[in-house]
Amino acid sequence: MRRARILLAAFALAAGADLVSLAVGFGPGHTAAKPLLMLLLASWAAVRGAPRLLVAALLFGWGGDVLLLSDAQPAFLAGMASFAAGHVCYLALFRTHGRNAVPRARAGLLAAGYAIALVGILVLLWPGLPAGLRVPVAAYSVLLTAMAYFALTRLGAVAGAGGALFMFSDTLIATGLADLAQPPLPDLWIMATYPAAQFLLARGAPATERPAPTTRPAARPATVGAARGGGLRPLGGGLRSRRPAAAPADPGRRPDPSP
């Protein structure tokens, strides 16, 4: 769709402008570009007919972006709450529209890996975090890690990469709060990974509203009409398809993944 391509190009342009502004230290450019990112990405998702939960998650991300433009602690807490609401939307999206994307045994190993990463991050951050931020940051970190884990195990590698980048980006923010060593130009790294994370989550999510079936419907027995050439209508659906089909019980088929 033409509108979707235009919006995605505008998102990429805004992300590039933001990175250039951060690289050269042009604060007004960052202040102008950052609030556009999630608005454009949410508009892109909406134009494509994406699930409302995905659009809501991106809009909560926009709210967090705007609030984090301020250095005040109340604004930071409000921004973190907005991002947390976005993660709740993502988790609901994975539950209603996702399916088991990895084998159960591998999912268990991944859960252990994400849990170890979470504990390691909190152990690293805890001593340096301001007392008033320790519990909120810990609670947010648990929610973020759950989102990243289920992005991978419910939607697959593309969304999983988005969840991992989201963890990386937010961990960089947290290391700044805890006065830990950061790479040069940390804001540049944060804004290089965060928009990419949100895009990969949006790209890996279902492209349309209809949720995935939890079980495959049983095939109906052949009828006289079928024996005369009518055939049986195939049931079942694709991993991320939500496009309505002719029959109400049909879960749909995979849409065109192009923007």
pLDDT of 75-87, one tens digit each? Answer: 999 999 999 999 9
Q: What is the pLDDT of residues 192-251, one digit of tens each?
A: 999 999 999 999 988 666 655 544 444 444 443 333 444 433 334 333 334 444 444 444
Q: What is the predicted pLDDT for the residue at 250?
A: 47
pLDDT band at 9 (very low <50, low <70, confident <90, very high): very high
Q: What is the predicted pLDDT for the residue at 136?
A: 96
Displacement of CA 187 from its chain's centroid (Å): 20
What's the start-to-end Cα distance of the chain, in Å?
Answer: 7
d(CA 120, CA 74): 27
Q: What is the predicted pLDDT for the residue at 180?
A: 94
| Averaged pLDDT, 49-66 | 97
DSSP for residue 127: G
Tokens of 243: 């496009």
The rounded mean pLDDT for the chain is: 85
8 A C-beta contact, residue 182 and residue 172: yes
Percent of the chain with pLDDT over 90: 74
Is the pLDDT at 109 greater than 90? The verdict is yes
pLDDT band at 98 (very low <50, low <70, confident <90, very high): confident
d(CA 40, CA 248): 33
Q: What is the pLDDT of residues 142-173, one digit of tens each?
A: 999 999 999 999 999 999 999 999 999 999 99
Q: What is the predicted pLDDT for the residue at 1?
A: 76
Q: What is the predicted pLDDT for the residue at 229?
A: 42
pLDDT band at 102 (very low <50, low <70, confident <90, very high): confident
For 229-233, the CB contacts below 8 A with 24+ separation are: none
Ranges 56-70, 118-132, 221-235: which has the least confidence: 221-235
8 A C-beta contact, residue 144 and residue 87: yes
d(CA 159, CA 204): 4
8 A C-beta contact, residue 237 and residue 212: yes
Is the pLDDT at 141 greater than 60? The verdict is yes
Is the pLDDT at 254 greater than 80? The verdict is no
